[in-house]
Structure 1
Amino acid sequence: MSRFTYQCALRWSDMDAYGHVNNARFLTLYEEARVAMMFDGARDAGITSLEEGVVIARHEIDYLRPVDYGHPVRIDMWLEEIRPSRFVVGYELFDDGVVASRARSVCVPFDLAAGRPRRLTDAEREFLTPWLESTS
């Protein structure tokens, strides 16, 4: 298994009144990393269909320590599960080399024109599979 790694700059608007990254902004940081993988990374591999529609069915976040403003954070991503009509993304956010948060998102490929979920294509599954983490 390999992980997709994304370096994410923090923005002044990510901070709360205490000078830490606001809890809701963690979702934005994770989204930025997910977009880098599923849009930019997939496009580089010749896959553009993920850009055309993926919705989030569920998010879970564990906050392990505060993240202060000042330097970029690293987000590592992998796939916990790939099913015909959904996949689960796992994340770890590192602040100064220490895990500050863990999260997971259930992603559903979506046909925006038809307004309904769809199945992953063979090409999408092939693109996602290298990041699938073995649970055994």
Structure 2
Amino acid sequence: MFIEKVTPRFGDADGLRHINNIALVEWFEVGRNPIFRMFTPDLDLNYENWKLILVRTEFDYLGQMYYGHDVEIRSYITHIGNTSFIIGHEAWQDEKLKAKGKAVLVHYDFLNQNTMPIPDDIRAQLKEHLIIEDKK
């Protein structure tokens, strides 16, 4: 599991000091950075070097988050396929789960516009962070 601390910015909040739901999109992406580095260690965004494409995201908002309190983003792998994998995300504030979500990423060759199998060495790294979720 990867853990990143996020300090909400003033602009992440609305007039009631609630965190706007759009902030979560950015925060979960911050949580994916260690996983991105498995595929592109220097995070070079040149399309010739970038090897992942995001194909799906989902979010469940479980409680209100507020400006003035740090948020802990927890990210982990929930499934590994041949060319794709699923990342689970959680947002915790004041030791309470406030939101959770998933992102599906595909190992992708942007030059040739096709999917690629996940290399064995990267698959092994992903497995180190695999948490099988209860399907209930």
**Counterpart of 1:134 in 2: which secondary structure?**
coil
TM-score by length of structure 2 reads 0.84
| Cα contact 2:6–2:70 (8 A) shared by 1 | yes
Aligned residues: 128
Rounded to whole Å, the distance in 1 between the matches of 2:106 and 2:32 is 13
Q: Cα 1:7–1:49, aligned 2, differ >3 Å: closer, same or farther?
A: closer
Rounded to whole Å, the distance in 1 between the matches of 2:51 and 2:12 is 26
Q: Letter of the aligned partner of 2:32 in structure 1? A: R
| Cα contact 2:58–2:103 (8 A) shared by 1 | yes
Task: Give the C-alpha shift of residue 112 in structure 1.
Answer: 1.7
Rounded to whole Å, the distance in 2 between the matches of 1:49 and 1:109 is 14
Rounded to whole Å, the distance in 1 between the matches of 2:53 and 2:68 is 31
- Give 2:128's aligned residue: 130
Task: Give the C-alpha shift of residue 58 in structure 1.
Answer: 0.9
Match of 2:58 among 57, 60, 73: 60
Name structure 2 gaps, 5 residues minimum: 44-49
Q: 2:23 matched to 1:31?
A: no
- Give 1:112's aligned residue: 110
- Give 2:16's aligned residue: 18
Identity %: 26
Q: Letter of the aligned partner of 1:5 in structure 2? A: I
Task: Give the C-alpha shift of residue 50 in structure 1.
Answer: 9.3
Task: Give the C-alpha shift of residue 24 in structure 1.
Answer: 1.6
Q: Letter of the aligned partner of 2:57 in structure 1? A: H
Rounded to whole Å, the distance in 1 between the matches of 2:94 and 2:31 is 17
Name structure 1 gaps, 5 residues minimum: none
Task: Give the root-mean-square deviation of aligned CA atoms.
Answer: 1.9
Extract structure 1 runs of 4+ deviating beyond 6 A.
none
Q: Cα 1:112–1:65, aligned 2, differ >3 Å: closer, same or farther?
A: same
Deviating more after overlay: 8-17 vs 90-99: 8-17
Q: Letter of the aligned partner of 1:106 in structure 2? A: V
Rounded to whole Å, the distance in 1 between the matches of 2:115 and 2:101 is 23
TM-score by length of structure 1 reads 0.84
